[in-house]
């Protein structure tokens, strides 16, 4: 078994590609990360009413997240107490009971066993402790600004401590509209890709690649700007200037615990430019001048380690299936009380960039696939297994609260992932 401490070097600038390929490391990640800490399982708006539920995973463990008739949120292991069959197969729905198809045992949405087929056939004590038997609950459930997290570890500590420096950003995120309503549209897009889960976690906030990989997106942006000018009746021949992220004053943050964030206020400014000035004035008057940018998408993207990626208009849940297979549940974030035109704009942005035929998301996924192919060389002992995350590693600044900051193209957000990873993986579960 490879020692995980040997896979990330002390200066945190180099990562050994075995972290993406080794089967033992993958299973150790489940125990030391996914079954130890808090894992994002869904947004409260996805289970808004009594009886609503969704199914997801904590690592490899299938769970049901349900809203019971008392308004409580339950995170239950999706496993029949009889012989282990999953009792719910749908992504989401509304039900006040779950029935195991194998022998027909029935559970309510708090997990209690409420019906056993041919129950009389069980003799004294054969069913075990009637109080205990049911869909087992996870050790801890918590919610912050509508985001629901669960942990299989009774000693995981508080959710607030886990979220740490991400909280001020989540507070802003939850206040995008004056009435604070956010509706996460469950799993609008779902896909698997044949590569390691950490590639998605490290890519979400990377400021280095967009200028190069997402050329098509840049061209679409230029086209849209021209169209917006025409719509405003501007006849100027002035060429639309191409904006490079590398040339912007944008920052990457290592928030600690593997969490990280990239801030690109200028991108939000550019998004604003696509709207007529009168419309932006109206928004400012109705919602306040500080809220205009937030309405059009917060000026940052964040990864909450290990499995949650938040971008302007979506939430992506990263689910590891195998060292080289990952499932992503991607949900659109709608703002029901925002003006109709803003909602449409957000939806178009989401579909245009991240959709199955989008000009951004699929580019990233193609890169993950190519990287995983490159990582096969990890098996050949004569080849160098080390990857470089060293870009501007020496230029990081440490703030008073311990947050590290550097230029957004500096790979600081990727180093943040592997600092968090090494911390978890270095400790016995």
The residues that touch ligand FES, with contacts defined as CB under 6 A, are: 80, 82-83, 85, 100, 102-105
Question: Smallest gap, in angstroms, from Cβ of residue 341 to ligand FES?
Answer: 50
Binding-residue total with Fe ion (CB under 5 A):
1
Could you tell which of Fe ion, ligand FES, none binds residue 102, using a CB distance below 5 to 8 A set by kind? ligand FES
Place of tokens 């549209």: 185
Q: Which CB atom, from 263 or from 364, has the smaller least distance to Fe ion?
A: 364
Strand order in the sheet with 61-67: 73-77, 61-67, 52-58, 92-94
Q: Which of 184, 205, 224, 222 is nearest to 364 (CA)?
A: 205
Q: Which CB atom, from 107 or from 208, has the smaller least distance to Fe ion?
A: 208
| Beta strands, E only, 2-48 | 14-16, 39-43
Question: Smallest gap, in angstroms, from Cβ of residue 112 to Fe ion?
Answer: 45
Could you tell which of Fe ion, ligand FES, none binds residue 364, using a CB distance below 5 to 8 A set by kind? Fe ion
Do you know the residue count of the chain?
429
Sorted by sequence, the CB contacts under 8 Å of residue 370 that are 6+ apart come out as none
Q: Which CB atom, from 36 or from 198, has the smaller least distance to Fe ion?
A: 198
Sorted by sequence, the CB contacts under 8 Å of residue 232 that are 6+ apart come out as 276, 277
| Residues in 342-401 that interact with Fe ion by CB under 5 A | 364
Question: Smallest gap, in angstroms, from Cβ of residue 409 to Fe ion?
Answer: 13
Q: Which CB atom, from 102 or from 279, has the smaller least distance to ligand FES?
A: 102
Could you tell which of Fe ion, ligand FES, none binds residue 128, using a CB distance below 5 to 8 A set by kind? none
Sorted by sequence, the CB contacts under 8 Å of residue 164 that are 6+ apart come out as 255, 256, 257, 259
Question: Smallest gap, in angstroms, from Cβ of residue 106 to ligand FES?
Answer: 9
Q: Which CB atom, from 22 or from 364, has the smaller least distance to Fe ion?
A: 364
Q: Which of 143, 142, 148, 153 is nearest to 61 (CA)?
A: 153
Could you tell which of ligand FES, Fe ion, none binds residue 100, using a CB distance below 5 to 8 A set by kind? ligand FES
Question: Smallest gap, in angstroms, from Cβ of residue 407 to ligand FES?
Answer: 55
How many CB atoms lie under 10 A from the CB of residue 161? Answer: 10
Q: Which CB atom, from 104 or from 402, has the smaller least distance to ligand FES?
A: 104
The H or E element that residue 375 is part of is helix 361-375
Question: Smallest gap, in angstroms, from Cβ of residue 245 to Fe ion?
Answer: 11
Tell me how far apart the alpha carbons of residues 29 and 34 are, in angstroms, rounded to a whole number.
7
Per CB under 5 A, residues contacting Fe ion are 364
């Amino acid at each position: 078994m490879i020692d995980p401490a040997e896979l990330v070097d002390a200066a945190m600038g180099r990562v050994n590609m075995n972290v993406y390929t080794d089967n033992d490391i993958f299973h150790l990640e489940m125990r030391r990360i996914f079954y130890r800490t808090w894992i994002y399982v869904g947004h409260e708006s996805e289970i808004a009413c009594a009886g609503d539920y969704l199914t997801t995973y904590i690592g490899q463990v299938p769970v049901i997240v349900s809203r019971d008739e008392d308004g409580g949120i339950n995170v239950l292991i999706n496993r029949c107490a009889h012989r282990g069959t999953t009792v719910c197969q749908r992504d989401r729905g509304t039900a006040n009971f779950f029935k195991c198809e194998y022998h027909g045992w029935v559970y309510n949405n708090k997990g209690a066993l409420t019906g056993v087929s041919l129950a009389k056939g069980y003799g004294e004590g054969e069913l075990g402790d009637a109080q205990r038997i049911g869909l087992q609950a996870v050790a801890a459930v918590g919610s912050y600004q509508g985001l629901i997290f669960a942990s299989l570890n009774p000693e995981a500590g508080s959710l607030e401590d886990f979220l740490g420096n991400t909280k001020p950003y989540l507070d802003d995120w939850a206040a995008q509209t004056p009435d604070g309503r956010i509706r996460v549209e469950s799993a609008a897009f779902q896909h698997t890709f044949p590569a390691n889960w950490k590639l998605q976690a490290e890519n979400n906030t990377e400021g280095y690649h967009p200028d190069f990989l997402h050329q098509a997106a840049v061209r679409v942006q230029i086209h849209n700007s021209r169209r917006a000018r025409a719509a405003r009746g501007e006849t100027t021949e002035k060429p639309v200037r191409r904006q490079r992220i590398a040339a912007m004053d944008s920052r990457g943050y290592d928030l600690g615990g593997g969490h990280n964030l990239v801030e690109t206020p200028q991108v939000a400014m550019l998004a604003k430019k696509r709207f007529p000035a009168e419309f932006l004035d109206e928004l400012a008057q109705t919602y306040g001048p500080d809220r205009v940018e937030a309405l059009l998408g917060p000026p940052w993207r964040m990864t909450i380690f290990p499995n949650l990626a938040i971008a302007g208009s979506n939430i992506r849940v990263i689910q590891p299936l195998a060292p080289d297979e990952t499932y992503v549940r991607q949900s659109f974030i709608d703002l029901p009380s925002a003006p109709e035109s803003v909602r449409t704009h957000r939806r178009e942005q989401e579909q245009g960039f991240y959709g199955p035929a989008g000009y951004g998301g699929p580019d990233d996924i193609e890169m993950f696939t190519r990287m995983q192919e490159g990582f096969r060389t990890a098996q050949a002992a004569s080849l160098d297994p080390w990857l470089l995350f060293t870009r501007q590693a020496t230029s990081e600044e440490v703030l008073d609260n311990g947050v590290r900051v550097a230029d957004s193209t500096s790979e600081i957000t990727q180093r943040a992932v592997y600092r968090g990873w090494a911390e978890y993986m270095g400790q016995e579960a």
